[in-house]
């Protein structure tokens, strides 16, 4: 895979049941991601940083404590080019409104939004071959 542009700003978020998926995704694409500017919710970012020490990840608060909203704010400011958000469709979330608000802003501001791994792979492939 060709390496992506340094300027690509990617937000990474995963619910607890999807964090292993996110870590595997980050490990598989570590070369590409190392060329990007990464921001993540707190626990997701920690898991990625632990698994991929070569990646520099800006960590916001944990999702349920406002991290989803912080990333939504970055999107609204035009500071995120792509949202990769591995959602858990089987578990009720206390912060479901924040989850919906975040995906809504990605849709509103028309940035690529991947809510599962196969879509994330497709988006990265498209970027790498653009």
Ligand X SMILES: O=C(CO)COP(=O)(O)O
63 is in an annotated binding site: yes
Nearer to ligand X, 55 or 99 (CB): 99
Binding status of residue 66 toward ligand X by CB under 6 A: no
Query: Residues 106, 78: contact at Cβ < 8 Å?
Result: no
Tell me how far apart the alpha carbons of residues 62 and 64 are, in angstroms, rounded to a whole number.
6
**Which listed range, 28-36, 40-48, 73-81, 104-112, lies at the site for ligand X (CB under 6 A)?**
40-48
**Which listed range, 1-9, 38-46, 49-57, 113-121, lies at the site for ligand X (CB under 6 A)?**
38-46
Q: How many CB atoms lie within 10 A of CB 7?
A: 9
User: Which residues have a Cβ under 8 Å from the Cβ of 77 and sit 6 or more positions away?
Assistant: none
- Structural element, H or E, at residue 83: strand 82-86
**Active site (annotated) includes residue 68:** yes
Strand spans (E) along 7-61: 9-14, 37-40, 57-59
Nearer to ligand X, 92 or 130 (CB): 92
Binding status of residue 13 toward ligand X by CB under 6 A: yes
User: Which residues have a Cβ under 8 Å from the Cβ of 100 and sit 6 or more positions away?
Assistant: none
Q: Which residue has the tokens 């993540």?
A: 40
**Which listed range, 42-50, 72-80, 107-115, 121-129, lies at the site for ligand X (CB under 6 A)?**
42-50
Of the candidates 68, 88, 98, 110, the residue annotated as catalytic is: 68
119 is in an annotated binding site: no
Question: Using CB under 6 A as the criterion, which residues of the chain lie in contact with ligand X when the complex forms?
Answer: 13, 15, 41-44, 62-64, 67-68, 95, 99
Active site residues: 68
Binding annotation for substrate: 15, 19, 41-44, 62-63, 95
């Amino acid at each position: 895979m060709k390496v992506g542009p340094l300027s690509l700003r990617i937000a990474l978020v995963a619910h607890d049941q999807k964090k292993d998926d996110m870590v595997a995704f980050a490990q598989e694409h570590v070369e590409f991601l190392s060329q990007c500017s990464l921001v993540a919710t707190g626990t997701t970012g920690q898991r990625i940083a632990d698994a991929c020490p070569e990646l520099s990840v800006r960590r916001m608060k944990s999702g349920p404590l406002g991290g989803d909203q912080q990333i939504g704010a970055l999107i609204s400011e035009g500071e995120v080019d792509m949202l990769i958000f591995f959602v858990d469709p089987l578990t009720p979330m206390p912060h479901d409104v924040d989850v919906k608000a975040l995906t809504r802003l990605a849709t509103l501001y028309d940035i690529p939004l991947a809510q599962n791994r196969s879509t994330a792979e497709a988006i990265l492939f498209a970027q790498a071959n653009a």
